[in-house]
Structure 1
Amino acid sequence: MDYQIYTLPNGLRIIHKPDVSNVSYCGLFVNAGTRDEHADEYGMAHFVEHMLFKGTTKRKYHHIINRMESVGGDLNAYTNKEETVIYTTFLEPHFERALELLSDLVFHSEFPQKEMDKEIEVVIDEIHSYEDSPSELIYDEFENLVFAGSQLGHNILGNAKQIKKLTSPKVKAFVNRLYHPNNIVFFSNGKTDFKKIVRLAEKYLSGIPQAETAQSRIDAETVLPEHLLIKKKTSQIHAIIGGRGYEIKNPKRKAFHLLNNILGGPGMNSRLNIELREKHGYVYNVESSATTYTDTGLFTVYFGTDKRNKDKCIELIYKELKKLRDTQLTTSQLNAAKKQLIGQIGISSDNRENITLSMGKTFFHYGRIDSFEETFAKIEAVTAKDIREVANEIFDEKSLFSLIYH
């Protein structure tokens, strides 16, 4: 892929993917998330994301909302454990408008207390809404279990009691620690000429002073597996089985993702879907996921089922994990798994928004982005022995946790 890159004098990096479409995307990837919060700041990273839209030195919140909407564009953001991303979608002639607005939001927000007081109530409503969705809430609670006692071991939204204690000075202190050029990547996708992008970035982003990023991420220590049953008023059982995975730069991660795809990926032909849904009719949804962080990772299997089928589902899941530990894939099974994953990646690349949003993170951590050919070659290089080795490391029953809402 013909990616174009540039680094401003203040250390802020730029990556652009040319495209012929009239629709453009751009955004700022900030290497700051939930795990960068201090103990008295839980929920802060996500709250900052909300407050970036509530007023800058030159704009009120209604001006921010209308800036891209008035030309048919869209402005959005998200926060997770290790990053915050603010991005916009628009027609190409409005590129400067988009970049200037992003720069204003990220580097010139004022975090007025009056707006904070209103947004605190909004976030508390979001927390309550999330608590009413057990199929989502269980993922956070499971991650808190696996990473107990670490920076990864608390949820993204925080809780109502903590959110109510947030003040404008505390929010500014968090931003001042982490929102610096060397901790940020500007990414874009569209047909704007790269020389113009660099010129506009120099105009709106190069004036941001360099500063030391006060990031203090500590490796998540290993904790003993737990198996918890939590009473919830739900119409069905919600359950997760899983444990630690691989970190973002681990050479085994391609085998890990391939293995996950075989076990419970998005395909209807995943082993868990065939066993639990197609053969036995125990579940509507069963899926596995593989998440990578800078120093560790997470593997999960989620399912929802009727209470009378809980034990049967768990037994079948452990049976499938054991098969992958004990039995090496045949050549035809391995080739079929590779072909499926390569096809999924190729098709997902047709979604330009998803591709664009992944650019900032990938470039921040690796300093480059693999072409599809390079990605496919790495998948093709995975052997059946690699798959079995990863299965024995990740699917070891002695290291697995479980959490069940019943």
Structure 2
Amino acid sequence: MAVSARLLGRVCRRYYSAHTTPPSHSLKGVKSPAASRKLQPQNVQTSKLRNGLVIAALENYSPVSKVGIFVNAGSRYEDAGNLGITHCLRVASNLTSRGASSFKLTRAVEAVGGNLRVTSTRDCMMYSVECLRDYIDDMLEYLASVVIAPEFRPWEIASTSDRLKVEKEIAYHQPQIRVMENLHAVAYRNTLCNRLYCPDFMLGQFTCEQLHEYVKKRFCVGGMALVGIGVTLDHLTKAAQELFGSKSGYGHAGAKAQYCGGEHRDPNGESLVHAAIVSEGAALASPEALAFAVLQQVLGTGPYVKRGKHVTSTLTQAINNSTNQPFSASAFNASYLDSGLFGVYTISQDRAAADVISAAVSHIRQAAQGKITEKDIERGKDQLIVRDLMVVETLDALLEEMGSQALATGTYVSPTSAVEQIKEITKKDVVNAAEKFASGRKSMAVSGRLGNTPFLDELESD
């Protein structure tokens, strides 16, 4: 009977959590469990090569290993001449490289039951591979080849245009994605205003020279982090020396994001109005970042019970008191390397849009005046702690968290340390975060039937 890698990942985490010995089959680099001793869970370990490559590893004795390469090459680094190039790189990740043809790469990954995945944010790109740990060295070679040695053959790049168009159409079919893309486009003058999906006028316009130039400029080892789960730090460091030891370079730092504020309206025939109203929030490493995260939990991030109404959300309670119309409302918080966005996201019927949006913004202004209880703040802190701990229960989320921290700071903050930092957040910190939203320049993106949807200047004048 075939057993999927995902199922094995679940099994191994149970062994890890219970401090029991691993399965009877051998694990590369791990001593046989024939002895009666039990293998103890390890902490995340980090190191750095002389060329600047950051390495982070967590040995959890899993039969399934997952390794990712994080690169400072997100859409924020695009310019006017190559908008959408990171989307093209995502789609072209399985094409021919110096280490393997597209066919060989696909066959090699599938032959070991592996999974090669590429995702990107506005800050970075992540290339990851998951497979049985006995094959991790082979998969690492293919992964490194995909990242630093793509060939970009003209006929292969030409074939990506249709895939780029289809991916964008599927994504933009979701109002939430359209609103978020439009929100970033009007909130910033540069960098973070770039979209995650290729604009229509750039489809089929990318040349092999442009792609090679972008990879050469951004894919430098000094701007990368190699992260692994189910592999020891020594093993990962040795592999990194062989694959990246001869490489050098730190790449360009890139421009700092400039927040400006603005409004984007997308009128269409959809009866539900999606609206996002934000001010500039906190950057990833900012001291204010945790205060905004706690405020988000206090206001509410959506129901915790299926089809529930999130009765503990102060934002939901406030809107309920001002309208009898059905709605959905949650706090929005996004942090990037040098900036962030904080605000509210609402979904309502077009006839109730004005009441719902105005009530949501008004409630945060009240929080900025200190009209928030210690009980709500303690609840928000507890919810944030639980959310952060539950997120790292999955391999994908844990790898992303390890990689994001390693890339941004060169180190990793353990969940235990993060919990202690959250507990130190005070009411004053949370109120100051709300006040920053209330007094800051706003940005708004809305979509749907907008006849009853207020304009941004009307909200600011209330």
Per the normalisation by structure 1, the TM-score is 0.92
| Secondary structure in structure 2 of the residue aligned to 1:62 | helix
Residues 113-192 of structure 1: pairs in structure 2 closer than 5 A: 113-147=154-188, 149-190=189-230, 192=231
Pairwise CA distance, 1:212: 4.6
Mapped to 2, the partners of 1:386 and 1:71 lie a distance apart of: 50
Task: Determine the structure 2 residue equivalent to 1:248.
Answer: 284
Pairwise CA distance, 1:328: 4.7
| Secondary structure in structure 1 of the residue aligned to 2:51 | coil
Q: Tell me if the contact between 2:327 and 2:349 (Cα under 8 Å) persists in the aligned partners.
A: no
1:89 pairs, out of 105, 130, 133, with: 130
Give the letter for the 1:210 counterpart: S
Task: Determine the structure 2 residue equivalent to 1:346.
Answer: 389
In 2 relative to 1, CA 193–372 (structure 1 residues): closer, same or farther, beyond 3 Å?
Answer: closer
In 2 relative to 1, CA 77–283 (structure 1 residues): closer, same or farther, beyond 3 Å?
Answer: farther
Q: Tell me if the contact between 2:402 and 2:412 (Cα under 8 Å) persists in the aligned partners.
A: yes
1:356-400 per-residue CA deviation (whole Å, 9 max, x = no partner) reads 11211101222221122210111111100111111101233x622
Q: Say whether 1:356 aligns with 2:399.
A: yes
Q: Tell me if the contact between 2:75 and 2:122 (Cα under 8 Å) persists in the aligned partners.
A: yes
Mapped to 2, the partners of 1:270 and 1:67 lie a distance apart of: 49
Give the letter for the 1:161 counterpart: F
Residues 329-344 of structure 1: pairs in structure 2 closer than 5 A: 329-344=372-387
Mapped to 2, the partners of 1:131 and 1:195 lie a distance apart of: 43
Pairwise CA distance, 1:151: 1.7
In 2 relative to 1, CA 81–305 (structure 1 residues): closer, same or farther, beyond 3 Å?
Answer: same
Residues 271-350 of structure 1: pairs in structure 2 closer than 5 A: 271-276=314-319, 282-283=325-326, 285-350=328-393
| Secondary structure in structure 1 of the residue aligned to 2:193 | coil
Mapped to 2, the partners of 1:351 and 1:113 lie a distance apart of: 38
Task: Determine the structure 2 residue equivalent to 1:23.
Answer: 64
Q: Say whether 1:63 aligns with 2:108.
A: no
Task: Determine the structure 2 residue equivalent to 1:400.
Answer: 442
In 2 relative to 1, CA 118–338 (structure 1 residues): closer, same or farther, beyond 3 Å?
Answer: same
Task: Determine the structure 2 residue equivalent to 1:218.
Answer: 255
In 2 relative to 1, CA 276–351 (structure 1 residues): closer, same or farther, beyond 3 Å?
Answer: farther
Pairwise CA distance, 1:98: 2.0
Give the letter for the 1:265 counterpart: T
Mapped to 1, the partners of 2:217 and 2:95 lie a distance apart of: 20
In 2 relative to 1, CA 227–20 (structure 1 residues): closer, same or farther, beyond 3 Å?
Answer: same
Residues 29-68 of structure 1: pairs in structure 2 closer than 5 A: 29-68=70-109
Pairwise CA distance, 1:273: 3.5
Task: Determine the structure 1 residue equivalent to 2:234.
Answer: 195
Q: Tell me if the contact between 1:99 and 1:201 (Cα under 8 Å) persists in the aligned partners.
A: no
Q: Tell me if the contact between 2:280 and 2:339 (Cα under 8 Å) persists in the aligned partners.
A: yes
Structure 1: runs of 5 or more not aligned:
none
Pairwise CA distance, 1:129: 2.4
Tell me how large the CA RMSD over aligned residues is: 2.0
2:243 pairs, out of 204, 214, 224, with: 204
Give the letter for the 2:375 counterpart: S
Mapped to 1, the partners of 2:172 and 2:234 lie a distance apart of: 47
Task: Determine the structure 1 residue equivalent to 2:457.
Answer: none
Pairwise CA distance, 1:44: 0.7
1:72-113 per-residue CA deviation (whole Å, 9 max, x = no partner) reads 221101111110000012122121122111111111110111
| Secondary structure in structure 2 of the residue aligned to 1:40 | coil
Per the normalisation by structure 2, the TM-score is 0.82
1:230 pairs, out of 248, 266, 278, with: 266
In 2 relative to 1, CA 101–285 (structure 1 residues): closer, same or farther, beyond 3 Å?
Answer: farther
| Secondary structure in structure 2 of the residue aligned to 1:350 | coil
| Secondary structure in structure 2 of the residue aligned to 1:52 | helix
In 2 relative to 1, CA 8–41 (structure 1 residues): closer, same or farther, beyond 3 Å?
Answer: same
Q: Tell me if the contact between 2:74 and 2:124 (Cα under 8 Å) persists in the aligned partners.
A: yes
Give the letter for the 2:265 counterpart: L
Q: Tell me if the contact between 1:29 and 1:361 (Cα under 8 Å) persists in the aligned partners.
A: yes
Mapped to 2, the partners of 1:200 and 1:84 lie a distance apart of: 21
Mapped to 1, the partners of 2:239 and 2:182 lie a distance apart of: 43
Mapped to 2, the partners of 1:195 and 1:364 lie a distance apart of: 19
Q: Deviation above 6 Å: which 4+ runs of structure 1?
A: none
In 2 relative to 1, CA 324–193 (structure 1 residues): closer, same or farther, beyond 3 Å?
Answer: same
| Secondary structure in structure 1 of the residue aligned to 2:69 | strand
Q: Tell me if the contact between 2:180 and 2:445 (Cα under 8 Å) persists in the aligned partners.
A: no
Mapped to 2, the partners of 1:194 and 1:127 lie a distance apart of: 38
Q: Tell me if the contact between 1:328 and 1:384 (Cα under 8 Å) persists in the aligned partners.
A: no
| Secondary structure in structure 2 of the residue aligned to 1:242 | strand
1:8-38 per-residue CA deviation (whole Å, 9 max, x = no partner) reads 3332221101112222111100011111112
**Residues paired across the two proteins, number:** 400
Task: Determine the structure 1 residue equivalent to 2:430.
Answer: 387
After the TM superposition, which of the residue ranges 378-387 and 228-237 deviates more from structure 2?
Answer: 228-237
Mapped to 2, the partners of 1:161 and 1:36 lie a distance apart of: 19
Q: Provide the identity percentage.
A: 19
1:320-363 per-residue CA deviation (whole Å, 9 max, x = no partner) reads 21221112533322222212211222222211220111211101
Pairwise CA distance, 1:42: 0.3
